[in-house]
Amino acid sequence: YPNAMASLASHDMTRKMQGKVIDPSPREEREKILQDFWPHDIVYASRILKNKVCCAFGHREAYGLDQGQLQVLLERLILTERVSVFMTGAMGEFDKAFIDAVCLLKKKHRGISLIWVKPSFSASLNTDAAVYQGVFDEIIVPEESDTAHFKAAIKVRNRWMVDHSDAVVAYV
């Protein structure tokens, strides 16, 4: 999985395959991979640059969602709250609308990044890598959710996203 890394925050930089086999690569090699593939470190952006991180959650179906209103809200977060990093679980209609809005705003505002936070590694990271790289600036798999029981992985990932965000957009 050259384009997927475990979480970058206060967690170990480890790469694991689905079978939980730890990558034997030395730490220096893993750090080089991070530098080559991930220009937007959320810890650096939020703590050093004082820019903020926003994550979003919503139901699988997004009945009555006003895409324009969502875009206005996100732009307000960019302009008034200094949000520059947006995280999504990319699992439902609301998440798709959120991704579309952030992608439009990235064309208008420099320095905006979109991160897909997956609950666990999957083969699609390799098979669909070109598609993902065209949309997301980073793909993060938090170690906590990757090592959690598969039925709890999404809940653990969501908690990780909230814990690493300054703002949360929710559509219920």
The pLDDT tens digits for 74-93 are 999 999 999 999 999 989 89
Instruction: Report the pLDDT value the prediction gives residue 76, as an integer from 0 to 100.
Output: 95
pLDDT tens-digit series, residues 93-134: 999 999 999 999 999 998 899 999 988 887 776 677 777 778
Residue 110: burial class (beta carbons within 10 Å; 0-12, 13-18, 19+): exposed
Q: Which two tokens stand for residue 156?
A: 């653990």
Instruction: Report the pLDDT value the prediction gives residue 156, as an integer from 0 to 100.
Output: 93
Poorest-pLDDT segment among 5-14, 19-28, 80-89, 148-157: 5-14
pLDDT: which is higher, 139 or 22: 139
User: Percentage of the chain surpassing pLDDT 90?
Assistant: 37
Q: Which two tokens stand for residue 127?
A: 């098979």
Instruction: Report the pLDDT value the prediction gives residue 75, as an integer from 0 to 100.
Output: 96
pLDDT: which is higher, 27 or 102: 102
Instruction: Report the pLDDT value the prediction gives residue 77, as an integer from 0 to 100.
Output: 95
- Mention every residue, 6+ apart, whose C-beta is less than 8 A from residue 92: 58, 59, 60, 61, 62
- Mention every residue, 6+ apart, whose C-beta is less than 8 A from residue 158: 57, 89
pLDDT: which is higher, 27 or 136: 136
Q: What is the mean pLDDT of residues 135-160?
A: 87
